[in-house]
A and B are shown apart, each in its own frame.
Chain A
Amino acid sequence: MIYEAISLICEITIIILLAQIVSGMKCRYKYSFILILVFVQYMIFGKMLSGLYYDQLLYLPAILIAVFVMIDDTWKKKTEYILIICACWMVLQIIVYLILKFISTNDLGIMLETMVENNYVSLIFVAEIYFIRLSNIYGINDRSKGIKREIIVYLLLAFVGAGLLLCVSVISRASKYVTDREYSVIAIAVAIFTIISLAILIYIIFHIISTNKSTNELYLYQLQLNEQQEIYYKTLLEREDATRKFRHDIVNHLVYIERKALHSGNLEILTYVDKLTDNISEITHSRKSVGNNVVDIMMNYHFSKLDDNVDIEITGSLGEDIPISNVDLNIIFGNLFKNVAEGVGTNDEKEYVKVDFTKGNQYLKCVIENSISMDPAKSRKVEGVNMGYGIGNIKNALIRNNGKINIEKDEDFYRTTIIFDLIKNTNSE
């Protein structure tokens, strides 16, 4: 009975380890005492019921209860895991049993002993995989554990090699005491197979180690590159800041010169400075921000695809403090700006895009207007599988946010007006 109880504990441990290996579930080690409880209850009640094979009735529920308590995850996932993994594990055990039964000549007694032995062997096998996973043999990010990882790899390799050699030597020794020729042949076959497997395993391990080394080197280079990039971008930002400061100061200087020229009546200087300030004004006023991160990102992304000759005018502001979720803002304005970027065109006049946000106490209005061309050949619209979903998605998002859309179209412009009722939206949240 003690062997069955130990086998039960091994089974539970295997299932828990597999849960961590396969599904990434965590184990609540503080409930490990339940294994002791299972062991004790099986020892007590298993003996009482063993003659009738009712000990099997204790076996499964004990496994289920122990696994449910010790694994940390939702009930749904635990149930799914138990059904799928346990079923697979049992099928694997049955396959192993059938293979062994094919080799062995004994009956049901051997089957039970084999199952017990399988659990020991299975536990060692699963524990080995678990520790290999823990040692992160494929991992390259944790450089601080690099040396420790390599030692574990070599130790595991040594352990596996020793174990296999032990099996081979035991089988060979046993063959001396057995006169059955069939057994001797099988023993030799197993020995040869084991040696070949060991060689392959050693090759794989060394291959992994060498790949790790080269990957580690690449990782170091990448880190260096990242560091250098960071410094480079910092420098760029500093330069940009300095340029902005310079531009800010130069504007003041130009204004001063302009005033002086005005007072002295020097038209030539006045015209010259006027032109300079106009150029700077174009740069300064080329704002693509309405004070809301999501909308700014969408706007800058889609409008960056427009040609330089398209006049883009952004006025008004939106701010962050609005009762519309970022997801819906993304849906609405992402689609709108995408349509604008694809649809902007012109017949003969300049191409333009105008975006205006106005926010009142209760309402928020957005007007997006762009020039269009009657010539479909001049359209930037890309036909594809997802064509036509834009306006539908916008309308659905607007309904959720108490918004209304109005579209006006003429020969040379396309205007979309959206109005949100912000107070109604706040109340409905």
Chain B
Amino acid sequence: MKIGICDDETYIAELLEDMIKVAFENRNVALTIAKYNIPAEMFQKCKEYDAVFIDIDMPEMDGIELAKNIMRENPECVVIMATGKNDRYRDAIHIKVADYILKPYRQADIDESVSLILNEHIGEGEIEVYYQREIYKIRERDIIYIEAFNGYVLVNTATTIFRKDISLLKLMDIIENKLFVQISRKVIVNMLWIEKYICGNIYINDKKLEIVRPRKKSFEKKYIEFDLEYRRFK
């Protein structure tokens, strides 16, 4: 995971770096942290980062402005505002940043921000699938839904339908359970792709999938938890 820190005060950036490293301990994630004093430099490389911590009050560019630009260039990047000013809170909320931490930094706040970053990058694991007899590796988060047939499954992504010779039950042991939910005996759906859920139907890219009645309650519970945990500030 690549994280960027932008603060005009070098020692503040160093402190934040140390605290982020502490937060990532015991999380089994390879981590790279880069520090910047100049906002423009960070913006040039913003597409490389999975998450950025930005100070709001910087002489060359307002942190809110930098955050907006980064969110536009790299929508998947998790933006966290880090500042000593409580009164810019509303500005940060208005542009829908992922989180807002106040100086002096508290380790608990950094831990929470790191959890948020990891949640945003759920489904980075890969699975092997086939398409026209060729093997491909696709990220779990790119799977929209999986449909089971006799001894094999069809893995639907945005562009292609892949195949994997495995039963649905065994597949569910391999993939990230937090990401997928079973809506019927033969179909499991990636909750990241659900646009909305209304009256027993889920809507994904103009496609409507019905949830069978016995699974409705458990789906609702799991989907609400997932939405609040993994899709905040969208």
Interface size class of B (residues with CB under 8 A): 20 to 34
Chain A 286-310 interface mask (CB, 8 Å, partner B; 1/0): 0101010000000000000000000
Taking A317-B93, A361-B234 as contacts, is the C-beta distance between A254 and B104 under 8 angstroms?
yes
A74, CB-defined interface residue at 8 Å: no
Taking A284-B84, A284-B104 as contacts, is the C-beta distance between A362 and B14 under 8 angstroms?
no
Shortest CB distance B197–A (Å): 6
Q: Is the CB of A361 within 8 A of B227?
A: yes
Q: Is the CB of B84 within 8 A of A247?
A: yes
Q: In the complex, identify which listed stretch (A17-25, A87-95, A100-108, A419-427) lies at the interface while the others stay far away.
A: A419-427
How far does the alpha carbon of A424 sit from the alpha carbon of B229 in the complex, in Å? 19
Shortest CB distance B189–A (Å): 14
Taking A361-B227, A361-B231 as contacts, is the C-beta distance between A287 and B197 under 8 angstroms?
no
Q: Is the CB of B228 within 8 A of A360?
A: yes
Interface centre among B15, B227, B233 (most CB of A within 10 A): B227
Residues on the B chain within 8 Å of A284, using CB: 84, 86, 102-104
How far does the alpha carbon of A363 sit from the alpha carbon of B198 in the complex, in Å? 12
Chain B 187-207 interface mask (CB, 8 Å, partner A; 1/0): 000000000111000000000
Residues on the A chain within 8 Å of B11, using CB: 252, 255-256, 259
Interface size class of A (residues with CB under 8 A): 20 to 34
Name the contact of A277 in the complex, choosing from B85, B89, B104 (C-beta under 8 A). B104
Residues on the B chain within 8 Å of A285, using CB: 102, 106
Residues on the A chain within 8 Å of B198, using CB: 423-424, 427
B178, CB-defined interface residue at 8 Å: no
A163, CB-defined interface residue at 8 Å: no
Residues on the A chain within 8 Å of B230, using CB: 360
Residues on the B chain within 8 Å of A244, using CB: 85, 87
How far does the alpha carbon of A258 sit from the alpha carbon of B229 in the complex, in Å? 35
Chain A 342-380 interface mask (CB, 8 Å, partner B; 1/0): 000000000000000011111101000000000000000
Residues on the B chain within 8 Å of A287, using CB: 86, 89, 102
Chain A residue nearest to B100 in the complex (CB): A317
Residues on the A chain within 8 Å of B233, using CB: 359
Residues on the B chain within 8 Å of A359, using CB: 228, 232-233
B224, CB-defined interface residue at 8 Å: yes
A56, CB-defined interface residue at 8 Å: no
A281, CB-defined interface residue at 8 Å: yes
B58, CB-defined interface residue at 8 Å: no
Number of cross-chain contacts by CB at 8 Å: 87
A251, CB-defined interface residue at 8 Å: yes
Shortest CB distance A61–B (Å): 58
Taking A255-B11, A281-B106, A284-B103 as contacts, is the C-beta distance between A248 and B84 under 8 angstroms?
yes
How far does the alpha carbon of A255 sit from the alpha carbon of B17 in the complex, in Å? 13
Name the contact of A281 in the complex, choosing from B90, B104, B196, B228 (C-beta under 8 A). B104
B57, CB-defined interface residue at 8 Å: yes
Q: Is the CB of B89 within 8 A of A362?
A: no
Interface centre among A285, A287, A360 (most CB of B within 10 A): A360
Q: Is the CB of B93 within 8 A of A291?
A: yes
Shortest CB distance B130–A (Å): 32
A280, CB-defined interface residue at 8 Å: yes
Shortest CB distance A362–B (Å): 5
Chain A 266-294 interface mask (CB, 8 Å, partner B; 1/0): 00000000000100110011010101000
A392, CB-defined interface residue at 8 Å: no
Residues on the A chain within 8 Å of B104, using CB: 251, 254-255, 277, 280-281, 284
Given contacts A251-B103, A252-B103, A291-B93, 16 further A-B contacts (CB under 8 A): A248-B57, A248-B103, A284-B102, A287-B102, A317-B89, A360-B230, A360-B231, A360-B234, A362-B197, A363-B228, A365-B224, A419-B224, A423-B196, A423-B197, A423-B198, A424-B198
30 pairs from A and B in contact (CB 8 Å cutoff): A244-B85, A248-B84, A248-B85, A251-B104, A252-B84, A255-B11, A256-B11, A258-B15, A259-B14, A259-B15, A280-B104, A281-B106, A284-B86, A289-B86, A289-B89, A291-B89, A317-B93, A319-B96, A320-B94, A358-B228, A359-B233, A360-B228, A360-B232, A360-B234, A361-B231, A361-B234, A362-B196, A362-B231, A365-B224, A365-B228
Measured CB to CB, the residues of A under 8 A from B are: 244, 247-248, 251-252, 254-256, 258-259, 277, 280-281, 284-285, 287, 289, 291, 317, 319-320, 358-363, 365, 419, 423-424, 427
